[in-house]
Amino acid sequence: MEQEKMLQEKAAAIRMAIVKMIGPNQVGHFGGSLSVTDILAVLYFHKMTYDATDPSLPGRDRLILSKAHAAPAQYATLALAGFFPLQELQSLKKLGSRLQGHPDFRRLPGIEANTGSLGQGLSMGVGMALAKRLKKEAGRVYVILGDGELQEGQVWEAAMAAANYKLDRLTAIVDHNKLQATDAIAKRMQLGDLRSKWSSFGWEVIEADGHDVHELCAALDKAESNSGCPSVMIAHTTKGKGISFMENVPKYHNGMMSQDQYEQALRELQA
């Protein structure tokens, strides 16, 4: 129970940081950042092995944020984990900042890959998992994908390759909030039965409530114990989670808050 409370507090701190770093009267990717927050909290503060003082430590676990528009959530998490100072979060998307709209591994410690062109992250994860096997190096590889991102064909090429090479130290996590930039995914391009689809590609499929830290911990533990094939966790989430006027509203995929909405969001998150 103490561990779960700690993870809930970390998730709350990440959400607060997301809202403050984007701020009022600025366009930002609120929706997908807020939906993936609990997943990031559980990965960085429960599951993953890393050293914030030595980000290139051999044998570390690696996380690729393939849905890179949710970078504010990862930036907030990395700062809370000690990779760089918390005050740097206020430089988000400013000229010369290390915290740009999409993450850059050459500039910011804790970032494992440059992402932003949707559909490519899982392919990078396959390469990293293969490299770990060849080098006999410890550690797992995690890749977070958006559900709208699954409309990209390269995702399924990578899924086929991962199963072919039996990459059981690779875990994909689908942030299944069921909305994309302009509307519900079901109104843009049907994804079908995701459990059956991933299973047909040879993956072990686990489903979880993406905002329940207990379920997330159990799902990631199960993925770690899997052998002989890659694992995917379908995390059922709410876009804009934690802020009433943003939840399940597509325009906050990349939207703007007024000053009044900003103050309301802070009140709701503080509560």
The pLDDT score that the predictor gives to residue 49 is 97
Backbone angles phi, psi at 111, to 5 degrees: -85, 130
Give the chain's radius of gyration (CA, Å). 17
The CATH number of whichever domain residue 63 belongs to comes to 3.40.50.970
Per-residue pLDDT for the chain (271 aa), expressed as one digit of tens each? 899 999 999 999 999 999 999 999 999 999 999 999 999 999 999 999 999 999 999 999 999 999 999 999 999 999 999 999 999 999 999 999 999 999 999 999 999 999 999 999 999 999 999 999 999 999 999 999 999 999 999 999 999 999 999 999 999 999 999 999 888 998 999 999 999 999 999 999 999 999 999 999 999 999 999 999 999 999 999 999 999 999 999 999 999 999 999 999 999 999 8
Query: In the 3-class helix/strand/coil scheme, how is the chain assigned residue by residue?
Result: CHHHHHHHHHHHHHHHHHHHHHCCCCCECHHHHHHCHHHHHHHHHHHCCCCCCCCCCCCCCEEEECCHHHHHHHHHHHHHCCCCCHHHHHHCCCCCCCCCCCCCCCCCCCCCCCCCCCCCHHHHHHHHHHHHHHHCCCCCEEEEEECHHHHCHHHHHHHHHHHHCCCCCEEEEEEECCECCCCEHHHHCCCCCHHHHHHHCCCEEEEEECCCHHHHHHHHHHHHHCCCCCEEEEEECCCCCCCCCCCCCHHHHHECCCHHHHHHHHHHHHC
Three-class DSSP category at 123: helix
Closest by CA to 201, choosing from 236, 169, 234, 157, is 157
Q: How many domains is the chain built from?
A: 1
The pLDDT score that the predictor gives to residue 7 is 98
Closest by CA to 150, choosing from 174, 186, 179, is 174
Angle at 70 between CA 65 and CA 74, to 5 degrees: 65
The pLDDT score that the predictor gives to residue 182 is 87
Per the CB < 8 A criterion, the answer to whether 12 and 34 are in contact is no
Q: Which residues of 120-137 are buried (b: 16+ CB within 10 A; e: fewer)?
A: bbbbbbbebbbebeeeee
The pLDDT score that the predictor gives to residue 215 is 98
Record the tokens describing residue 179, joined without a space. Answer: 């909305």
For residue 68, the enclosing domain spans: 2-270
The pLDDT score that the predictor gives to residue 250 is 93
- What does the chain come to in residues? 271
The model's pTM? 0.96
The pLDDT score that the predictor gives to residue 9 is 97
Record the tokens describing residue 79, joined without a space. Answer: 């700062």
